[in-house]
Chain A
Amino acid sequence: MTRGFLEKGVLAGLVFMTGFAVFIFALVLAEVAVRGGGALNAGFFLEEARDFGAAGGVRYQMEGTLLLMVGAAALGLPLALAGALFQTEYVDAPGLKRGLRLLVYSMNGVPTILFGLLGYLFFGITLGAGVSWLTGVLILAIMILPTIQVSVQEAIEALPEQYREAAGALGLSRWQVVRSIVLPHCLYGIVTGTLLGLARAAGETAAILFTATAFSGARFPEAMSDPVPTLQTHILVLAQEALNPRTIENAWGAGLVLLCLVFSLIALSLVFRGRLSMEFER
């Protein structure tokens, strides 16, 4: 077999697989849009769910999902930023650097149910936060931390060493170099990472299902110890238990809302990815 032939074969395989992925993606999108599109109207976004999801909308579920996402990002971002800066700017030992890197990358691959379980045992039981909005935010923050950190870290590592050296040679301390050179440079990396983290939190179900969310009767939480309703839990419960076709349609509608939310976050993150703010200023 000639080399050219092999290359063509591999290329054809890749094209086929890419096409297949796009096809599946379009199929899912179309399916959800067709089944849930009918449920969407102004009331769906503005009203409270009634009749076990058969009537009304998903207002509180949307608010709950947003609350968990934003809370998790608000907590996760500073931690991830600190972690990334510590590893890239302050740790000089190459062995430790590699170890920390491995840790962050493998945290990204831990099944989310484990985060839920351990997070609930620690935050919910040991620290007494119970099934609550707070427990959910804590669990999600830890879960999306590696997602944000990897993105920030890659942006920082793309900064040529000569910028640091030029600033250091002028007598700036490490922290001054971080503030004036490194942070402005990786601004878009921070934005990208945060958006991806938000998307990850929005799509997450397993880790928060029994630790932070409630199904019926829950509204916008009044205290940090209250559980929240979320789109994810809503969809799951409706899909599992409903018989009424209106309810099923509303479940698909909620799914469509969630899908749009996640996709727009990812699309937005792609806009920022790879853009370097330092070059942007020129």
Chain B
Amino acid sequence: MIPAIGIVDVRVAYNGKPVLDAVSARVRKHSAVAVIGPSGTGKSTLLRTLSRMNDRVPGFKVEGKLRVGGEDVYAKGLDVCRLRRKVGMIFQTPCMFPKSIFENVIFGLRHQEPARSKEFPDIAQQVLRRVFLWEEVKDRLHKPAPNLSLGQQQRLAIARTLAVEPDILLLDEPTSSLDPQSALAIEELILSLKKDHTLLLVTHQLAQARRVSDETIFLEAGRVIESGPTEAVFGRPAHAATRAYLGRAEEA
């Protein structure tokens, strides 16, 4: 079977400074893979490289092969907008457009499929239900989204991404800027998304990685130190560096 995400010997540098070094990984369809590791190790870079979010970054250079759904991410002439619809990205801090909740939810659709505008209210309701936000916002859909709590904003950001029907979701520390309760709500949501989506999740919260992911990749200084089934990586880490990181993170 073709993996949903295939990364082969990828090297990334900013202005000649190497950030990812010979990274390889595979993510099976409809599985969740967690990426863990210290700050500044290149976890965000890996995710951003997969959805070509770094194209605008000056001095960014990538080598190796990245594929999503069998398609070369850096192929010449690739439609980047279509790729990004297929590969949704959720950031650490949700960024609401200064518009209503409703307009935020259908923001991507409105630009890509304006002809379907009659269906927008139904689609909005459907995706808001999927992120467990419908009951909280159904009476104020036309109120400004930036007034929502951070946790609600993050769920709205996920709803907005789901509305353009991605196959793959890249989540970059989606709960780090949230309070513990909102973080748990997002975690529940992530678990429920596994059914229909392939997930690549960067997280600092090891307990979260354990609960959510099927496999875990441990990244340090731009290299994959260890990867495999989550239970194995956490239960029987093969490398001293992994043990050291897990130990340090446990204390913190």
Contact = CB atoms under 8 A, between A and B. Distances in A.
B232 interface: no
B152 interface: no
Nearest to B57: A92
B58 A165 contact: no
A259 to B, nearest CB: 38
A176 B111 contact: yes
Contacts of A160: 95
Nearest to A177: B111
Q: Which secondary structure dominates where chain A touches chain B?
A: helix
Contacts of A172: 81, 108, 111-112
Contact of A171 (B85, B93, B147): B85
A163 B95 contact: yes
A169 B89 CA distance: 6
A168 interface: yes
A169 B84 contact: yes
A176 B146 CA distance: 21
A100 interface: no
Contact of A168 (B53, B97, B147, B161): B53
Contacts, number: 65
B218 to A, nearest CB: 26
A264 interface: no
Interface stretch (A3-11, A48-56, A274-282): A274-282
B108 A170 contact: yes
Contacts of B164: 170-171
B98 interface: yes
A278 B51 contact: no
Contacts of A166: 91, 95, 97, 157
Contacts of A168: 53, 84
A93 interface: yes
A70 B86 CA distance: 47
Contact of B97 (A167, A171, A173): A167
A184 to B, nearest CB: 8
Nearest to B84: A171
B82 interface: yes
A171 B53 contact: no
Interface residues of A, number: 22
Given A180-B111, A282-B144, A169 B161 contact: yes
A59 B237 CA distance: 87
A172 B55 CA distance: 14
Nearest to A160: B95
A113 B161 CA distance: 55
A278 B82 CA distance: 27
B76 interface: no
A165 B161 CA distance: 13
B211 interface: no
B88 interface: yes
Interface string B57-95: 011000000000000000000000110110011010101
Nearest to B86: A171
B160 interface: yes
Interface in B128-168: 144, 146-147, 157, 160-161, 164
A174 B98 CA distance: 19
Contact of A279 (B58, B93, B98, B107): B98
28 contacts: A92-B55, A160-B95, A162-B93, A162-B95, A163-B95, A163-B97, A165-B95, A166-B91, A166-B97, A166-B157, A167-B97, A169-B84, A169-B88, A169-B161, A170-B84, A170-B85, A170-B108, A170-B160, A171-B81, A171-B82, A171-B112, A171-B164, A172-B108, A176-B111, A180-B111, A278-B98, A279-B98, A282-B147
Interface of B: 51, 53, 55-56, 58-59, 81-82, 84-85, 88-89, 91, 93, 95, 97-99, 107-108, 111-112, 144, 146-147, 157, 160-161, 164
Interface of A: 92-94, 160, 162-163, 165-173, 176, 180-181, 278-279, 281-282
A-B complex: 6 closest residue pairs judged by Cβ atoms: A170-B108, A171-B85, A166-B95, A169-B89, A278-B98, A171-B84
Given A169-B51, A171-B85, A172-B111, 11 more contacts: A94-B58, A165-B95, A169-B88, A169-B91, A171-B82, A171-B108, A171-B112, A173-B81, A278-B98, A282-B98, A282-B146
